[in-house]
Amino acid sequence: MTPRYLRPGRAAAICLAAVTLLAAAAGCGGDSGGKDGTVQLRFSWWGNNDRAAATQKVIEAFQAQNPGIKVAGETADFNAYFDKLATQTAANDAPDVITLGGAYPQEYGARGALLDLSRVSGELRTDQIDGAALGNGKFGGKQYGVPTGVNTFGVVVDPVVFEKANVPLPDDNAWTWADFVEIAKKVAAGSPKGTYGVADPSRPDALDLYSRQRSEGLYTPDGKVGISKQTLTDWFTMTTALRDSGAAPPASLTSELAGQPAPEQTLVGRGLAGMQIDWSNQLSALRKASGHPLKLLRAPGENAGKQPGMWLQASQLYTISSRSKHPKEAAKLVDFLVNSPEAGKIILTDRGIPANAQVRTAIEPTLTPDQTEQVQFIAKVTEKAGPPLVIGPAGSTDSVKILQRVNAEVLFNRESPAKGAEDFIDQLQAAIKK
């Protein structure tokens, strides 16, 4: 999934806090120059062995075009990566090019650990990267990162479930949230018992999308809760109506599936729901799990609200350490990663759909049908996307568990939609003030 809500754990945050004290210091750093004048760069990322192998191929292609630069890759599994990076950064030993995601770029940038990329604009071109995607790496007026690729948050639909229920697929250029509810009811009514119109849609990203259509958003640019009590009340009123009608699962099943279930555990992945609100990059895994030709649709209400709620979300961001001894060479590497068709043909969609349209075009002939559909969907959304997403402040990662708790209270009828809205806002405000 897209790691929007990730941030350092407590130990990592303690290490990262030391960055402020080191920001002005001219430490040894981790980069160096070879005796023959060759520039030595370090490049870090997280991921599995397949990603490491592909990244090494990209590094070799870059070095072939830049014989005076050598790049050493540093990778770790997801759980270890950020703790290691925080420790390295606090010790003034951060890699030159750092892959980040979620709330990390904002936190590292605010502490002076990341380079303002305007300083290397001659080496790193951003004019071909969509502005909405580029906004994911901009904080406090400074561009700290560029997207490795992008995803978006929409609706995954199962045409097989719709066909068996004798319900036509919705027109995602026109449908509203009221249409969404009615369609879910019809799918459930025409399906066998245990098959639903939609999986319960309550998750922070969905609240963000829904509230953005009302010109709100889950957070404000100054780091406060932005979603209103009325918007949340309307959301919970809608989801409880879906539950009551049988269009969505009962509270017990939704609670059982709460969190981040694997694709094969989801209702859509098991062929037991017609719709599921999810990330576009989950299409391949959900198709594989279900064995059905799932499709991606724009979210309901995109043409009916005050503004589009969907956004382009950076899968990850490439950033540069503020203490790199070779910022221009590091910028050349990032430029190659995001703007080179050669790099794009190696990475493909592993780090999201390329945000550079020229790279997207270059890789399309080599993509699988699943990947091609994702690319085409991103291109469709790009033309109509809303403003850049406001990334949540420190503490906002708690929103996932907070919403799970409140959603359970509402779905089990222990709280009214209005009370649930009030509780969610109160708990989220407390979390981001920690």
Query: Of 327, 346, 366, which residue is a domain's last?
Result: 366
Indicate whether 310 belongs to any domain. no
143, 224: one domain: no
User: Are 55 and 137 in the same domain?
Assistant: yes
Range of the domain at 334: 10-150+315-366
Tell me the angle at which helices 229-245 and 417-432 cross, rounded to the nearest 10 degrees. 130
Of 377, 158, 381, 368, which is closest to residue 284 (Cα–Cα)? Answer: 368
Strands (E), 159-235: 196-198
Q: Total domain count for the chain? A: 2
- pLDDT tens-digit map of 251-305: 999 999 987 678 899 999 999 999 999 999 889 889 999 999 999 999 999 999 8
Question: What is the value of pTM for the model shown?
Answer: 0.78
Give the burial string for 286-308 (b: 16+ CB within 10 Å, else e).
bbebbebebbbbbbbbbeebeeb
Residue 268: CB atoms within 10 A of its CB come to 27
In a domain, 59, yes or no: yes
Say yes or no: 63 and 170 in one domain: no
Same domain, 65 and 207: no
Give the tens place of pLDDT for each residue, 99-158: 998 778 888 998 899 999 999 999 999 999 978 788 889 888 899 999 999 999 999 999
Rounded to the nearest 10 degrees, how much is the dihedral formed by the CA atoms of 27, 31, 36, 38? -140
Cα-flanking dihedrals φ and ψ of residue 174, to 5°?
-135, -20
Model confidence pLDDT, tens digit, residues 4-18: 544 444 334 434 444
Residues 193 and 282 in one domain: yes
The mean pLDDT of 379-383, rounded to a whole number, is 87
Instruction: Please report the pLDDT score of residue 106 as a whole number.
Output: 82
257 and 405: one domain? yes
Q: Are 157 and 269 in contact (CB under 8 A)?
A: no
CATH number for the domain harbouring residue 355: 3.40.190.10
Over residues 210-232, the pLDDT tens digits come to 999 999 999 998 889 999 999 99
Same-domain check for residues 88 and 173:
no
Nearest by Cα to 239 from 193, 192, 207: 207
- Return mean pLDDT, the chain: 89
Question: Phi/psi of residue 188, each to 5°?
Answer: -65, -40
Helix (H, G, I), strand (E, B) or coil at 293: coil
pLDDT in tens, 199-213: 999 999 999 999 999
